[in-house]
């Protein structure tokens, strides 16, 4: 095995174009010995920044959750991103987990993807050719060999967002998570924890969320098995959190 | 592979296999105050400060420590000349088996550097990454408060 520390994105892309290469940053996603022949460290690429520009906040992929939480983007939309960072794992882990990793690993319990989906965030992907993907595209289809998330662009929005999670403890993996963003143009809803993070379009068009509508939207989901909570219980918790988050955000 | 870093103020050269995590490399080089609990990022007893910030050394790759400044509990004080946080932990009975103590002290140190007079909530959040299976946490929280008062008193 080899551990390589490229200094530029171009160099990293070249090194990742290898059948058994694994990009690493925070290192929290895979305890033990990684199943790879080449580890490519992304933390020397200088992708550690949050910049406010006319088209939105540009967040470098290796910005840690602790840094994101203290940046101006965290306070946008009623502290929406701050809420998602607050109990995202624990204090030492928040100093390690990166924004790019939280998206690219595709974990069900990741806090940022549902929030970023409702904000319409885009990711800039570096590879043989540069491309732009939505957070949903990254989470659902993944990246190709030799690609890495370089930056996330979060539009500046003036509405309000609420993030809620249900877990064994505050800092544990989310068994259910909901992210609701609301402004004068309407409501956007995303869920995670029990399924791969995704928008719930059924709950976005209607002004009033009736119990029937909620049942229909949630019953379509097929929760991934969880060691402690059965699927019906988690669906019930999801409905409760959705109702609370929607009521809170539109209050 | 080989890297250079500073550990507790001393320049050190560390040798290890490319896949190894910082925890196991530190212990092999004699830093036994960094404890090996779960090795998968849950218990937090392996926490060290890297450039002043607490991280779980069982998940950080040793290779990423190149050029960094690492602090373990030994770097804060010694039995002859303990750091005020270490003294407060002893005085308040915040140490039982002692396995989580080095990590708790480092997390408390990072908190008090940023927030000299923390609230209960701030203390609880700062320590949320380290599990203690003996004390029930109350005495640890008390010890951090006592340390804050003593350090604040010295500053005045």
ipTM value for the complex: 0.96
CA distance A50 to A53: 10
Task: Say if residue B92 is in the same domain as residue B151.
Answer: yes
Q: Where are the beta strands (DSSP E) in A83-185?
A: 122-126, 131-134, 148-154, 160-166, 176-183
Whether residue B35 has pLDDT greater than 70 = yes
Examine the domain organization and report whether A179 and A205 are in the same domain.
Answer: yes
Together in a domain, A150 and A167: no
Tens place of pLDDT for every residue, chain A, 251 residues? Answer: 999 999 999 999 999 999 999 999 999 998 888 999 999 999 999 999 999 999 999 999 999 999 999 999 999 999 999 999 999 999 999 999 999 999 999 999 999 999 999 999 999 999 999 999 999 999 999 999 999 999 999 999 999 999 999 999 999 999 999 999 999 999 999 999 999 999 999 999 888 899 999 999 999 999 999 999 999 999 999 999 999 999 999 88
Among A112, A127, A154, where does a domain finish?
Answer: A154
Helical segments of chain A, H only: 9-16, 65-69, 76-86, 91-94, 99-104, 112-119, 135-141, 211-219, 231-249
Domain housing B43: 2-75
Tens of pLDDT, residues B82-94: 999 999 999 999 9
Mutate to test the interface with A, among B59, B113, B127 (most CBs of A within 10 A): B59
Q: Are residues A8 and A36 in the same domain?
A: yes
Which residues in chain B have their CB less than 8 angstroms from residue A92's CB?
44, 47, 54-56, 107, 129-130
* Mutate: best of B57, B60, B113, partner A, most A CBs <10 A: B60
pTM: 0.96
Query: Are B90 and B38 in the same domain?
Result: no
Domain boundary among A126, A154, A182: A154
Q: Which domain holds residue A137?
A: 50-154
**Is there a single domain that holds both residue B37 and residue B12?**
yes
Are B88 and B68 contained in the same domain?
no
The residue among B58, B75, B92 that closes a domain is: B75
Q: Do B19 and A3 touch (CB under 8 A)?
A: yes
Q: Which CATH number do you get for residue A137?
A: 3.30.465.10
| B10 and B71 inside one domain | yes
**Residues of chain A with C-beta less than 8 angstroms from the C-beta of B21:** 27
Shared domain for A165 and A149, answered yes or no, is no
How close A63 comes to chain B (CA, Å)? 14
Domain with B129 in it: what CATH number?
A: 1.10.150.120
Residues A196 and A238 reside in one and the same domain: yes
Among B75, B101, B117, identify where a domain stops: B75
How many domains is chain B built from? Answer: 2
Give the number of domains in chain A: 3
B70 and B92 part of one domain: no
Q: Do B128 and A96 touch (CB under 8 A)?
A: no
Which of A103, A134, A154 is at the close of a domain? A154
Contacts of A43 in chain B (CB under 8 A): 64
- Kindly state whether A5 is in contact with chain B, defined as any CB-CB distance less than 8 angstroms: yes
Same domain, A106 and A176: no
Chain A residues close to B63, C-beta within 8 Å? 3, 5, 39, 41
**Shortest alpha-carbon distance between residue B117 and chain A (Å):** 18
φ, ψ (nearest 5 deg) of residue A155? -60, 150
Of the candidates A11, A13, A41, the one whose C-alpha atom is nearest the C-alpha of residue A26 is A41
Question: What is the pLDDT at residue A30?
Answer: 85
Token pair, residue A205, equals: 């068009």
List, for residues A183-233, the tens digit of each pLDDT value. 999 999 999 999 999 999 999 988 889 999 999 999 999 999 999 999 999
Q: Domain of B58: which CATH number?
A: 3.10.20.30
Q: In this structure, are B57 and B120 located in the same domain?
A: no
In chain A, what residues touch B55 (CB-CB under 8 Å)? 92, 95-96
Compute the average pLDDT of residues B136-141.
96
Nearest to B64 by CA among A125, A96, A72: A96
Same domain membership, residue A61 and residue A143? yes
Residue reference for tokens 């379009």: A201
Claim to verify: residue A117 and residue A185 sit in the same structural domain: no
Residues A7 and A63 in one domain: no
Residues of chain B in contact with residue A3, where contact means CB-CB under 8 angstroms, are 1, 18-19, 61, 63
Helical packing angle, A76-86 and A112-119, nearest 10°: 160
Q: Do A92 and B21 touch (CB under 8 A)?
A: no
Q: Which of B51, B75, B99 is the last residue of a domain?
A: B75
Burial of A202 (0-12, 13-18, 19+ CB in 10 A): middle
Residues B69 and B90 in one domain: no
Residues B128, B92 share a domain: yes
Same domain, B16 and B70: yes
Q: Cβ–Cβ of A27/B61 closer than 8 Å? A: yes
Our CA-based measurement puts residue B20 at a distance from the nearest CA of chain A, in whole angstroms, of 7
pLDDT band at residue B153 using 50, 70 and 90 as cut-offs: confident
Same domain for B61 and B20 = yes
The model's confidence at residue B156, banded by pLDDT at 50, 70 and 90, is: low
What pLDDT shows up at residue A206? 84
């Amino acid at each position: 095995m080899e551990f390589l520390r490229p200094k530029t994105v171009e160099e990293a892309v070249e090194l990742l174009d290898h059948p058994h290469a694994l990009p690493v940053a925070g290192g929290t996603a895979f305890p033990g010995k990684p199943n790879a022949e080449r580890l490519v460290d992304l933390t020397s690429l200088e992708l550690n920044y949050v910049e406010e520009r006319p088209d939105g906040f540009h967040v470098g992929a290796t910005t840690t959750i602790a840094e994101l939480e203290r940046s101006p983007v965290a306070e946008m939309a009623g502290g929406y991103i701050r809420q998602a960072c607050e109990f995202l794992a624990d204090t030492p882990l928040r100093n390690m987990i990166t924004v790019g990793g939280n998206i690219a690993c595709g974990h069900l319990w990741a806090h940022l993807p549902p929030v970023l989906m409702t904000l319409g965030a885009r990711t800039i992907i570096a590879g043989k050719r540069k491309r732009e993907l939505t957070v949903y595209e990254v989470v659902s289809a993944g990246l190709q060999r030799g690609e890495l998330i370089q930056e996330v662009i979060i539009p500046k929005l003036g509405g309000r967002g609420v993030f809620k999670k249900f877990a064994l403890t505050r800092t544990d993996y989310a068994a259910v998570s909901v992210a609701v963003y609301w402004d004068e143009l309407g409501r956007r809803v995303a869920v995670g924890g029990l399924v791969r993070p995704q928008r719930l379009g059924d709950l976005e068009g209607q002004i009033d969320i009736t119990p029937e509508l909620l049942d229909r939207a949630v019953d379509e989901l097929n929760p991934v098995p969880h060691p402690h909570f059965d699927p019906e219980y988690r669906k019930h918790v999801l409905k409760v959190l959705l109702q609370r988050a929607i009521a809170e955000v539109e209050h | 592979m080989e890297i250079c870093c500073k550990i507790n103020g001393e320049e050190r050269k560390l040798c290890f296999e490319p896949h190894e995590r910082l925890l196991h490399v530190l212990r092999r080089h004699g830093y036994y105050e960094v404890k090996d609990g779960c090795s998968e990022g849950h218990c937090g007893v392996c926490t060290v400060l890297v450039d002043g910030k607490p991280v779980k050394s069982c998940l950080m790759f040793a290779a990423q420590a190149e050029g960094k400044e690492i602090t373990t509990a030994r770097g804060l004080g010694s039995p002859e000349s303990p750091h005020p946080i270490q003294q407060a932990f002893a005085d308040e009975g915040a140490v039982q088996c002692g396995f989580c103590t080095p990590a708790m002290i480092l997390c408390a140190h990072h908190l008090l550097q940023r927030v000299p007079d923390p609230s209960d909530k701030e203390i609880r959040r700062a320590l949320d990454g380290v599990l203690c299976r003996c004390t029930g946490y109350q005495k640890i929280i008390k010890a951090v408060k006592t340390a804050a008062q003593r350090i604040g008193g010295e500053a005045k």
